[in-house]
Amino acid sequence: MDVLYKLGEGTVEQVQTTLLQKATYSTVRAQLGTLERKGYVLHRERHLRYLYVPVIPKQQAAIRELHRIGETFFDGSTEKVVLALLSEIPLEEIESLLRNVRDIR
């Protein structure tokens, strides 16, 4: 998804060559198919090739994935997810986060 967000749209070959971790054509094609089934991308045919396009904004995709991670690893508990993340963050950043939360409320 990150590659598609950067490119705006792309073929399997374009995604494959842009990936930091190299993957085979068939692996990239399978991943794009999975993303399409999950509703993250759509494809259209252009010059006998599929052109994949993100269909949801990056922020919305991130939130969707955070919810999935919460369900999978933290029993659906937002509190457990936040505590796990906070345990990896330096104290100065936590204090900054607290100020931001207060401003939101």
CATH number of the structural domain spanning residue 30 = 1.10.10.10
**Structural domain boundaries enclosing 30:** 2-54
Q: What is the pLDDT of residue 45?
A: 93
Question: What pLDDT is attached to residue 32?
Answer: 97
- What was the pLDDT predicted at 105? 79
Q: Does 64 share its domain with 43? A: no
Give the pLDDT of the chain (105 residues) as one tens digit per residue. Answer: 999 999 999 999 999 999 988 899 999 999 999 999 999 999 999 989 999 999 999 999 999 889 999 999 999 998 999 899 899 999 999 999 999 989 987
- Whether residues 39 and 78 fall in one domain: no
Pair (63, 40) in one structural domain: no
The DSSP 8-state label assigned to residue 49 in this structure reads E
What's the domain count of the chain?
2
Residues 37 and 80 in one domain: no
Query: Residue 44 pairs with which residues in a beta bridge?
Result: 51
Q: DSSP assignment, residue 10?
A: B
The answer to pTM > 0.85 is no
